[in-house]
A and B are shown apart, each in its own frame.
Chain A
Amino acid sequence: MPDMATVLEISNLSKRYGKVQALQSLNLKVEAGSTWGILGPNGSGKTTTLGIVLGVLKATTGDYSWFDAAPTAQARRRVGTLLETPNFYTYLSAQRNLEIVAAIKGRGQERIKEVLDLVLLSQRSKDAISTYSLGMRQRLALASALLSDPEVLVLDEPTNGLDPQGIADVRAVIQRTAQTGKTIIMASHILDEVEKVCTHVAVLKQGKRLAAGSLSEVLTSGPLLQISGGELSTLKQMAEQCPGVKQVRENGDKLELNLENEKTPSEINRWFMEQGVALSHLAIYKPNLESGFLALIREEKQDAPADH
């Protein structure tokens, strides 16, 4: 595979606020043209990560680079950004706000009308932002992110706080942009959103990276075998001894077994029979990404106390 240009490289990035470790030794490499989702529950360090690489937060330790070079203000001009809360001069109109953004970026004055059209705000472009609803501000923030026709889009919870129509509109614009081959880095706690746009995903929890890679690699755990029979804790102890079982997880009154590839349900069933246990339930199912994501987050929760 040919070497691709690196857009963003994060190495060993940590951030501490007093006693709180918001981010812990994060590593991530985003290549040109790829679409990355940073996925994790609230407070997992997504916004902190983006704040650092966008120059507003200071990392406690670690580095990052944009476009294979030390990060500069110049590099940030090549990035379009949409943050969780839209920040504008509320006494100015949409038009004037975008003029300021274009002046900072050094490009895009001629695209103001085009991006306002794109987010359906042309009619209101002369009105002060203070008269805008949250949804309109969010759309304007998207217009602002797209204004300089940037090579890279960084989006932080782009649909947060929007009504269903707003969510659909914003997602449609992002999806269309993704298809034009731009690099996208999107933080979100909504898997659905990431799934629709991103090919790669990094899962964060409590400031730590749990997994990173292509969407299917990270979030699909292979077929799961659901079993039950007899007392659950005894069954669990046995299942952990069972050859070919990679992982055992409780789910309600059943166990979920993560099997090695060549193992079949009948082999597992036979093994339990040999141990003198009759399974009352045996079913195989292919988990969707959502349950893969939840499993990933949940596993970590069970292990978490050991880290502290």
Chain B
Amino acid sequence: MRLLIIELRKVIWYRAFWISSFGYLLLMPLLFMSLANFNIQVSGGTSLGLNLYLFPQVWQNVTYMATWFNLLLYFFVILLVTNEFQFRTLRQNIIDGMSREEVLIGKLLLLLLFTVVSTLLVAAVGLGCGLAYGEGVTWATATEKIHFLGIFFLQCYATLVFALFLSLVVQKQGLTIIAYLFYSMVVENVLRFKLLPQGWGDYLPMKIISDLIPNPLPSLLGMGVAKDPEWISVFLTLGYIALFSLASWGWLRWRDL
């Protein structure tokens, strides 16, 4: 708790934090409200009206879209962690009497808090949109696919821990963001399709983590059934969270700061 309070002291009076959270908390509901009348123009002029907010499907739709929106949160975490290098305050914290382990645990706790808040927000938005725009709500349909919130939680935390690890290693703000995008968009795909034996690439971290919540669009368009998360992905994600935490620990443990 002491460590979390120290971390909170660093962000709570940070203007960028308030601007980001304000934007985050305000924009996400607005985005989902604007999607309430989602139309896809099919060639020929007929439009396909889709309701994203029917229970129980709303949980998958909302969490899936929120993972994209969460890019804002990932970048904010990168900003916070690389700030500590830019201001050399990570070094100062250690000199003042934090252990390297405490530095890491403090950050992991802060990310956990962000994940909890993000999940609660998505839950509120999903529920609100479902009630406002969905139809035929019963207790059973409203809770049927609610486990997607748990999956979202896992997805968000895993990505944040990855962003933390990357920030610790790269240390420079812009470079870390570039490395994040480059890794998730280019490196994994090259590994998957060119370098690794067929099939192995499906187990790379960003692939596993981003596929936790299956894309609901095909089923919405009537192409196939809505897929449920796979247990193997859940376990692998937990494994990756552990791996990135350990890698961060190892990195902090042995390096000059």
- Given A73, A74, A76, A88, which contacts B89 in the complex, CB threshold below 8 Å? A88
Q: Which residues of A contact B94 (CB under 8 A)?
A: 54-56, 73, 76
B91 touches A73 (CB 8 A): no
Output the least CB separation between A166 and chain B (Å).
Answer: 21
- Partner-contacting stretch, out of B95-103, B132-140, B197-205: B95-103
CA distance A104 to B9 in the complex (A): 11
Interface residue tally for chain B (C-beta within 8 Å) = 28
What are the interface flags for A71-100 relative to B under an 8 Å C-beta threshold, 1 for contact and 0 otherwise?
Answer: 011101101010101011111110010011
Q: Which of B98-143 contact A (CB under 8 A)?
A: 98-100, 102
Q: Which of A100-114 contact B (CB under 8 A)?
A: 100-101, 103-106
Output the least CB separation between B109 and chain A (Å).
Answer: 14
B98 touches A56 (CB 8 A): no
Q: Does B194 lie at the interface of the complex (its beta carbon under 8 Å from any beta carbon of A)?
A: no
CA distance A57 to B100 in the complex (A): 12
A103 touches B99 (CB 8 A): no
What are the interface flags for A35-62 relative to B under an 8 Å C-beta threshold, 1 for contact and 0 otherwise?
Answer: 0000000000000000100111110000
Taking A103-B6, A104-B6 as contacts, is the C-beta distance between A56 and B97 under 8 angstroms? no
Q: Which residues of B contact A76 (CB under 8 A)?
A: 94-97
Output the least CB separation between B151 and chain A (Å).
Answer: 35
A91 touches B97 (CB 8 A): no
What are the interface flags for B59-83 relative to A under an 8 Å C-beta threshold, 1 for contact and 0 otherwise?
Answer: 0000000000000000000000001
A55 touches B95 (CB 8 A): yes
Q: Does B16 lie at the interface of the complex (its beta carbon under 8 Å from any beta carbon of A)?
A: yes
Q: Does B13 lie at the interface of the complex (its beta carbon under 8 Å from any beta carbon of A)?
A: yes
- Partner-contacting stretch, out of B164-172, B208-216, B249-257: B249-257
Question: Which interface residue of A55, A83, A93, A99 has the most chain B CB atoms within 10 A?
Answer: A55
A92 touches B13 (CB 8 A): yes
Output the least CB separation between A94 and chain B (Å).
Answer: 12
A56 touches B6 (CB 8 A): no
A87 touches B91 (CB 8 A): yes
Output the least CB separation between A63 and chain B (Å).
Answer: 17
Q: Does B5 lie at the interface of the complex (its beta carbon under 8 Å from any beta carbon of A)?
A: yes
Taking A73-B98, A77-B97, A104-B98 as contacts, is the C-beta distance between A56 and B91 under 8 angstroms? yes
CA distance A144 to B93 in the complex (A): 12
A77 touches B87 (CB 8 A): no
Taking A87-B91, A90-B87 as contacts, is the C-beta distance between A100 and B97 under 8 angstroms? no
CA distance A54 to B94 in the complex (A): 8
CA distance A72 to B98 in the complex (A): 9
Q: Which residues of A contact B6 (CB under 8 A)?
A: 100, 103-104
Taking A91-B16, A92-B13 as contacts, is the C-beta distance between A54 and B88 under 8 angstroms? no
Taking A57-B256, A91-B14, A92-B14 as contacts, is the C-beta distance between A81 and B96 under 8 angstroms? yes
CA distance A117 to B99 in the complex (A): 30
Q: Which residues of A contact B88 (CB under 8 A)?
A: 85, 87
CA distance A120 to B210 in the complex (A): 53
- Given A57, A58, A89, which contacts B10 in the complex, CB threshold below 8 Å? A89
CA distance A203 to B238 in the complex (A): 53
B9 touches A103 (CB 8 A): yes
Question: Which interface residue of A58, A81, A92, A104 has the most chain B CB atoms within 10 A?
Answer: A104
Taking A55-B94, A73-B102 as contacts, is the C-beta distance between A100 and B10 under 8 angstroms? yes
Q: Which residues of A contact B13 (CB under 8 A)?
A: 91-93, 96
CA distance A11 to B64 in the complex (A): 58
CA distance A10 to B92 in the complex (A): 22
Taking A85-B88, A87-B88 as contacts, is the C-beta distance between A74 and B97 under 8 angstroms? yes
- Given B10, B14, B87, B95, which contacts A56 in the complex, CB threshold below 8 Å? B95
- Given A54, A87, A96, which contacts B9 in the complex, CB threshold below 8 Å? A96
A89 touches B16 (CB 8 A): no
A72 touches B99 (CB 8 A): yes
Question: Which interface residue of B91, B100, B257 has the most chain A CB atoms within 10 A?
Answer: B91
Question: Which interface residue of B2, B88, B92, B100 has the most chain A CB atoms within 10 A?
Answer: B92
Q: Which residues of B contact A81 (CB under 8 A)?
A: 95-96
What are the interface flags for B39-76 relative to A under an 8 Å C-beta threshold, 1 for contact and 0 otherwise?
Answer: 00000000000000000000000000000000000000
B residues apposed to A, CB below 8 Å: 2, 5-6, 9-10, 13-16, 83, 87-89, 91-100, 102, 254-257
**8 A-B pairs closest in CB distance:** A77-B97, A73-B99, A87-B92, A87-B88, A76-B97, A104-B96, A56-B257, A54-B95
Q: Knowing that A57-B257, A104-B97 are A-B contacts, what are 12 other residue pairs whose CB atoms are under 8 Å apart, sorted by A's residue number?
A: A56-B95, A73-B97, A73-B99, A74-B97, A76-B97, A88-B92, A91-B16, A92-B13, A92-B14, A96-B13, A100-B9, A104-B96
